[in-house]
Amino acid sequence: QVQLVESGGGLVQSGGSLRLSCTAAGTVFGINNMAWYRQAPGKQRELVAGIDSDSIASYADSLKGRFTISRYNAQNSMYLQMNRLKLEDTAVYYCNAHVAMYRGVRYRDYWGRGTRVTVSS
């Protein structure tokens, strides 16, 4: 079984910063693509940022310049540094990753349960 566990969410004032973490736990052989998504109340889940196995990052256009995605492969971890947070950044943030449990098996898609970020005025 593979579990993706997010952490780092919380309450922050507008203009502040948070750093989210995602760690893959359980039986993990390898991870290729990883991404952060978010879902605000009443809205569809949207892609925030993605990072591939070579640490090449991509971002939603509206977030580029404020958010930075990174990964630390030795710990099967991914991070999202969020700066200059705005009220509209309030959402549940989800970790997504393609994970292989064993050598020679195909990579499968996994989701974390999310960590809530609330930005106040």
Please tell me the distance from the alpha carbon of residue 9 to that of residue 21, in angstroms, as a whole number.
Answer: 9
Please tell me the distance from the alpha carbon of residue 121 to that of residue 119, in angstroms, as a whole number.
Answer: 7
65-84 residue pLDDT tens: 999 999 998 999 999 999 99
Strand partners, 30: 100
Mean pLDDT confidence for 99-106:
95
pLDDT at 64: 80
